[in-house]
Chains A and B, each alone.
Chain A
């Protein structure tokens, strides 16, 4: 059976362990490949044994990947926090823009719709405020954490809390977007205005949906990556 090169095997193992962050895995692979060949050829020997020695001195792939996990997942969690705050801002602008447009078009609600929309808008407002507050708290929390050099219990706990806060913010945000969509749909179905009039409300709802989807995808990705990294060693 042909013997594989230790460096190639090690790089494959390390890339696999870094599966929680593909762009990081790509960069680390290139960097570590250079290191291992540099270490191997330092004594003018490129034999399998010299490669194996270089790999041995580098350290176990799981341990090295674990040290990257803290860095990568914290960066992802901070990014999620920033998206929540950004999405909150976008939702606010979309809501205010829509209301201003209705005013400009003198597009008032009919008496029949008024009680229903009052309830939906109250839910919308409460959900938005809750999402915004949780988002800001989550962002402030994870931004104030120091980057740990180890993927240890404390680091995992910080990441879990950050993820819980992000998920807690996303749920009311989705409720708020659904409420906005429902009220806008009711208006459009009742009035059936020309496309030039309802384009702005539809666009604003599309923006809200896009941000909510972006957030759900980003948090889902971080959750998946955290689960992938969960088995890595802490030191």
Chain B
């Protein structure tokens, strides 16, 4: 299930500002409360894919350690894509919440 939403998760992790791959992973870990256990390396192909799709931009910087570091940032297209994903996810979460937790929950939201 996580794999299908990895792109959205990465975009969301970058919504607070530009970051390098390791920081993105830390942000995902922090904001999800450590719920997602995936090989850390999986994030990097996703970052490249999102960059190729024009949703992220990136550039090299030099870290304090002197190592070269690739920093990623959301593009305008990426910000729009994340906003769309949020809406879709909210609808989905409401619908599932209505089905599993609170009968009538989804219907109540629809009628608002």
Interface residue ranges, A against B (CB under 8 Å):
24, 27-28, 30-35, 37-39, 41, 57-60, 63-64, 67-68, 71, 75, 147, 149
CB <8 Å contact, A71 and B48: yes
Interchain CB contact (< 8 A) of B40 among A31, A33, A57:
A57
Bound Cα distance from A35 to B46, whole angstroms:
15
CB <8 Å contact, A30 and B46: no
CB contact under 8 A between A34 and B63, given known A68-B48, A147-B52: yes
CB <8 Å contact, B20 and A64: no
CB <8 Å contact, A59 and B41: yes
For the complex with contacts A33-B67, A63-B39, A149-B6, 15 further pairs of A-B residues with Cβ separation under 8 Å are: A31-B44, A34-B20, A35-B40, A37-B65, A37-B67, A39-B22, A57-B39, A57-B40, A58-B39, A58-B41, A59-B40, A59-B42, A64-B41, A71-B52, A75-B52
21 contacts between A and B (CB under 8 A): A24-B48, A30-B68, A30-B70, A31-B21, A31-B44, A31-B69, A32-B41, A32-B44, A34-B70, A35-B20, A35-B44, A58-B41, A59-B39, A60-B39, A67-B45, A71-B45, A71-B49, A147-B49, A149-B7, A149-B45, A149-B49
Q: Which residue on chain B has the smallest CB distance to residue A41?
A: B65
Chain B 64-82 against A: per-residue CB contact (8 Å), 1 yes, 0 no? Answer: 0101111000000000000
Bound Cα distance from A32 to B22, whole angstroms:
9
Interface residue ranges, B against A (CB under 8 Å):
3, 6-7, 20-22, 39-42, 44-46, 48-49, 52-53, 63, 65, 67-70
Interface centre among A31, A63, A149 (most CB of B within 10 A): A31
CB contact under 8 A between A28 and B44, given known A71-B52, A147-B49: yes
CB distance from B8 to the nearest CB of A (A): 12
CB <8 Å contact, A147 and B53: yes
Bound Cα distance from A215 to B66, whole angstroms:
41
Interchain CB contact (< 8 A) of B69 among A24, A34, A60, A75:
A34
CB distance from B22 to the nearest CB of A (A): 4
Q: Which residue on chain A has the smallest CB distance to residue B50?
A: A147
CB distance from A39 to the nearest CB of B (A): 6
What chain B residues lie within 8 Å of A38 (beta carbons)? 22, 63, 65
Interface centre among A35, A37, A41, A59 (most CB of B within 10 A): A35
Bound Cα distance from A34 to B49, whole angstroms:
19
What chain B residues lie within 8 Å of A32 (beta carbons)? 41, 44
What chain B residues lie within 8 Å of A58 (beta carbons)? 39-41
Bound Cα distance from A68 to B52, whole angstroms:
12
